[in-house]
Amino acid sequence: MNSPYGVEARARRVPEPPKRSGRTPFERDRGRIVHSAALRRLSAKTQVMGAGTDDFVRTRLTHSLEVAQVARELGKALGCDPDVVDSAALAHDLGHPAFGHNGEDALDAVSQACGGFEGNAQTLRILTRLESKTFDGQGRSVGLNLTRATLDACVKYPWARGEGPRPESRKFGVYPDDRRVFDWLREGVDGHRRSIEAQVMDVSDDIAYSVHDVEDGVVGGWFSLCDPLDTAAAWQVGREWYLPEAGDERLDAAWDRLRAMPEWPVEPYDGGRRALAVLKSLTSALIGRFAKATEAATVAAAGEGPLVRHAADLVVPEHTRDEITALKSVAAHYVMRSDERVRMLAEQRELITALVEHLVATGDRHLETEFAHDWADATDDAARLRVVVDQIASLTDVSAREWAQRLL
C-alpha cells in the first residue's frame, strides 16, 4: 500500500482478514462510524439550542457533519488521509449525552465514584467497547475495532483525569477501566502529543461551531450583527470559557477585522431569502478565512506534506484564534447565558441527576438489554455506576425526558 501511514497506524486491536472490496482500512473505519447507532443518536441531541426546538438550528449530528467537511478539506490540504480526519470529526461528539455540555456536567457530578464523566472519554468508550461490532478471543467487545491511526485521531485529550498538562482541568480522554485500549492506541507516542489529524479535528470543531452558532443566533433573533453589541460582556465570557489570556483590546481588534470583511451584513436580518443568502455567504467566507490561515501557517512551519500522525503540529495564528474566540464569545453571551437558558439548564441537570440515582437504586430493572448485561457482568458498585452512566449518556434529549416521565 502506497501510504505515509505505516503498518502500525493501520493495525486493529483484533486482526481482521483482508477484504476484497478495494477500500482502504481508513475508508472502512469511516463506514463503521457512519453506520453506528451512536452517530444516529446525535440527530436528537442538543448542540446549542435544544434539539427539536426549531427546524433550522444545528443538532449534534448536523454539527458533526459540518465539522467533518471542514476537517476533510483542511486535512487533505496538509497531506493527512482524508478518511482519518473525516472519521475523527464524525466521531468527536459521539460521547456527548443529552442536553450537551450541561448534561455532561450533571453526569460528571454524579459519577465521581467511578472516575467521573467526560464526553471525549465517553467517545473512546463508545468506539472501543459500547458500539457492538467485534469481539476479541476472550469474548470481550472491542467496539468498532478501528485502526490505531483513526482511534488516535479521535482522542482530543490524550490523558486520564488529572494527568494532563493542566492537572486541574476537567478535560480528559480516558476512564480508568478503558486504559488498556488507550495504551494500545498510544503505543510509541511520547507524553501528551496529539496526532495532527486530532489537531485538525479539534480546530475544525472550533471553526464550525464558532461560525454556525453565530448563524443560529442571528436567525433565532438572539442578536443582530448590524446592531451595537455588548462586546465587553461577551469578551468576559470568552476569557472565562475559551481564551483566558485574550484581553479586550485583542478581541476588539479581532471583531473589527471580522466586521471589515466584505461579506459582513450591512442590513438587519429579516428572515427573507436575500438575508439568508447574505448570512450564508458570511459563514462560507469565515470558514474559508480560518481554514486557509491555519493551512498556510502550518505549511510555513513544517514544510510541504504529507503531514501525518505525530510528524508535525497544526499552527493556528494568534489573530485567527482571536477571531474564532470573538465569534464564540458573542454566541455564548447572547444565547448560552441568557436568563431563559439558565433556568432550563438547571432543570436539565436535575433530570439527569434524578435518573442516575433512580437507576442505581433499582438495579438492572429498567436498563436496556445491552446495559442490563453489562450490569450483570459488573463486579463492584463503581462498575455498576459506570453502567448506569453509560445508559443515561446514550439517551437523546427526547428519550431522556421520556425516561424521566416514565420512571420519575
Whole-angstrom distance, CA of residue 406 vs CA of residue 392? 14
The answer for residues whose C-beta is within 8 angstroms of residue 268's C-beta and 6 or more apart is 224, 226, 227
- Amino acid letter for position 110: V
What are the φ/ψ torsions at residue 44 (nearest 5 degrees)?
A: -120, 25
Q: Which residues in the chain are classed under CATH 1.10.3210.10?
A: 7-185
β-sheet bridge partners, residue 46: 59
Concatenated DSSP letters of 126-155: IIIIIS-S-B-TTS-B-TT--BHHHHHHH-
User: Which pLDDT score is estimated for 338?
Assistant: 66
Cell readout for 290 is: 480560518
The closest alpha carbon to 113, from 357, 351, 355, 404, belongs to 357
* Count of CA atoms in the C-beta half-sphere (13 A) of 137: 4
Cα distances (Å, whole numbers) of residue 108 to 144, 158, 360: 25, 18, 15
Q: Do 195 and 153 form a contact (C-beta atoms < 8 A)?
A: yes
What are the φ/ψ torsions at residue 135 (nearest 5 degrees)?
A: -125, 150
State pLDDT tens for residues 36-63.
Answer: 999 999 998 765 554 445 555 678 899 9
β-sheet bridge partners, residue 147: 12
Q: Do 223 and 330 form a contact (C-beta atoms < 8 A)?
A: yes
- Fold for the domain defined by 7-185: Hypothetical protein af1432 (1.10.3210)
β-sheet bridge partners, residue 141: 135
User: Which pLDDT score is estimated for 264?
Assistant: 97
Concatenated DSSP letters of 178-211: GHHHHHHHTTT--TTPPPHHHHHHHHHHHHHHHH
The answer for residues whose C-beta is within 8 angstroms of residue 31's C-beta and 6 or more apart is 23
DSSP type of residue 165 = S
Cα distances (Å, whole numbers) of residue 388 to 112, 141, 379: 13, 18, 14
In this structure, the chain runs to a length of 408
- Amino acid letter for position 42: L
User: Which pLDDT score is estimated for 51?
Assistant: 44
pTM: 0.93
224: exposed, middle or buried (Cβ count in 10 Å: 0-12, 13-18, 19+) = middle
Whole-angstrom distance, CA of residue 7 vs CA of residue 147? 10
- Amino acid letter for position 156: K
Q: What is the pLDDT along the chain (408 residues), one digit of tens a residue?
A: 578 999 999 999 999 988 777 899 999 999 999 999 999 999 987 655 544 455 556 788 999 999 999 999 999 999 999 999 999 999 999 999 999 888 999 999 999 999 999 999 999 999 999 999 999 999 999 999 999 999 999 999 999 999 988 877 889 999 999 999 999 999 999 889 999 999 999 999 999 999 999 999 999 899 999 999 999 999 999 999 999 999 999 999 999 999 999 999 999 999 999 999 999 999 999 999 999 999 999 999 998 879 999 989 999 999 999 999 999 999 999 987 766 677 788 899 999 999 999 999 999 999 999 999 999 999 999 999 999 999 999 999 999 999 999 999
What are the φ/ψ torsions at residue 114 (nearest 5 degrees)?
A: -120, 20
Q: Do 285 and 263 form a contact (C-beta atoms < 8 A)?
A: yes
Concatenated DSSP letters of 36-59: -HHHHHGGGSBSSSPTTS-SSS-B
Annotate 242-266 with b (16+ C-beta within 10 A) or e (fewer).
bbeebeeebbeebbeebeeeebebe
β-sheet bridge partners, residue 242: none
Per DSSP, the three-state class of 395 is: coil
